[in-house]
């Protein structure tokens, strides 16, 4: 059985402005690890349980060269450039179509975002193995759900169905110990407000939606045929990427497709959806500067500082990042995010820093392209 990871690397990461730009989206940044980008960390993670020769990366044609520069070990022919963004259902349909034609419907797809962090990679590989066997035995659609550690309003949630628990008889290649972390999905829930998030966590039957999926090529193609007829038909008519007319055909198909997420389009509508609970993997979607602060090493005042010309005095719980030559001094301030990228400086309340995407929208509306 061939295992084929699919890394989705098409996002722009506007919440990481001013470091993230059109040509340097979040997944290409060294946000957590000074030596490697989030994409490079994802590729390293994939190499623990699959061959990079069998790995696909789906990215934007605007970023394809930068992605190729970082995708050491992944063949250049396996890096597919989307002409425009059409959300994850279209992206996954494209990957499934290519794998259907090249390796067949029995191959296992492991769909991973390029810009997430997993600290415990051995445990992650173990859970991927459980998810693979569950997908194989049930012919179902499997996702990874993260055991919540706090009432987070920035994530979607998955409710487990504790009345229809899978058994070893149903998934014989999964052990009694392993099956305790396998559940049927009762429903998917949108990002909640704070009170709802607290209720979800206190109930004990909700997991964070990680956006990671495991299924056979045949299973997801069947689901796309059921629920995404337009996407399925247009993508299914495409030649292989090696064909001379592929780029033009893909551009035409994408221009006629209405984008949708895989959650909305398939996962919330399918009946054969399973979730593998992930507890000790150290997962984060690295979705904001506040999350970077949460993950970073800190000093005795809980400040996370990345930059050689930064001085912090009488300040607590601040995130400071700078690659610039100018000196930055923080005095008598708390809970700030200060990001200096060389040509722009962001200063924001750390817990509100995700609203920087509104600043990016403002810059777009006012034709400040030099800062985008």
Write the CATH number for 24. Answer: 3.90.550.10
pLDDT of residue 232 exceeding 80, the answer is: yes
262-286 mean pLDDT? 96
Res. 149 pLDDT band, cuts 50 70 90: very high
Mark whether 279 and 304 lie in a shared domain: no
Q: Give the pLDDT confidence of 59-82 residue by residue, as tens digits.
A: 999 999 999 999 999 999 999 999
CA distance 230 to 211: 23
**Whole-prediction pTM:** 0.95
Mark whether 310 and 275 lie in a shared domain: no
pLDDT of residue 23 exceeding 90, the answer is: no
Residues whose CB is less than 8 angstroms from the CB of residue 322 and which lie 6 or more positions away in sequence, other chains included? 306, 307, 309, 310, 328, 338, 339, 340
277-300 mean pLDDT? 95
pLDDT of residue 257 exceeding 90, the answer is: yes
The domain containing residue 363 runs over which residues?
Answer: 289-371
How confident is the model at residue 156, as a pLDDT? 95
Mark whether 195 and 307 lie in a shared domain: no
pLDDT of residue 161 exceeding 80, the answer is: yes
CA distance 86 to 81: 12
Mark whether 279 and 160 lie in a shared domain: yes
pLDDT of residue 14 exceeding 90, the answer is: no
- By DSSP bridging, strand 56-60 and strand 79-82 are parallel
Name the average pLDDT for the chain.
Answer: 95
pLDDT of residue 95 exceeding 90, the answer is: yes
How confident is the model at residue 231, as a pLDDT? 96
């Amino acid at each position: 059985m061939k295992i084929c990871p699919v890394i989705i690397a098409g996002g722009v990461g506007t919440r990481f402005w001013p470091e993230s730009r059109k040509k340097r989206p979040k997944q290409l940044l060294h946000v957590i690890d000074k030596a490697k980008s989030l994409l490079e960390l994802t590729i390293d993670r994939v190499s623990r349980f699959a061959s990079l020769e069998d790995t696909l990366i789906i990215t934007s044609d605007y970023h394809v060269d930068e992605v190729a520069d970082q995708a050491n070990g992944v063949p250049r022919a396996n890096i597919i450039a989307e002409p425009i963004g059409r959300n994850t259902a279209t992206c996954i349909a494209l990957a499934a179509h290519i794998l259907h034609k090249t390796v067949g419907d029995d191959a296992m797809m492991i769909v991973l975002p390029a810009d997430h962090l997993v600290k415990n990679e051995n445990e992650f590989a173990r859970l991927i193995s459980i998810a693979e066997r569950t997908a194989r035995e049930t012919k179902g659609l499997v996702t990874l759900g993260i055991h919540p550690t706090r009432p987070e309003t920035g994530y979607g949630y998955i409710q487990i169905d504790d009345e229809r628990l899978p058994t070893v008889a149903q998934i014989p290649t999964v052990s009694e110990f392993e099956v305790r972390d396998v559940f049927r999905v009762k429903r998917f829930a949108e990002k909640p407000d704070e009170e709802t998030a607290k209720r979800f966590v206190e109930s004990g039957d909700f997991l964070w939606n990680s956006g990671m999926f495991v299924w056979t090529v045949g299973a997801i193609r069947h689901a796309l045929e059921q629920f995404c007829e337009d996407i399925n038909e247009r993508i299914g008519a495409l030649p292989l990427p090696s064909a001379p007319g592929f780029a033009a055909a893909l551009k035409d198909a994408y221009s006629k497709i209405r984008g949708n997420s895989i959650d909305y389009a398939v996962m919330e509508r399918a009946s054969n959806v399973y979730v593998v609970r992930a507890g000790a993997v150290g997962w984060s979607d690295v979705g904001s500067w506040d999350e970077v602060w949460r993950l970073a090493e800190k000093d005795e005042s809980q400040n996370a500082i990345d930059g050689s010309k930064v001085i912090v005095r009488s300040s607590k719980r601040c995130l400071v990042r700078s690659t610039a030559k100018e000196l930055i001094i923080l005095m008598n301030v708390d809970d700030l995010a200060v990001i200096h990228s060389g040509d722009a400086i962001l200063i924001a309340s750390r817990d509100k820093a995700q609203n920087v995407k509104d600043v990016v929208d403002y810059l777009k509306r006012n034709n400040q392209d030099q800062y985008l």
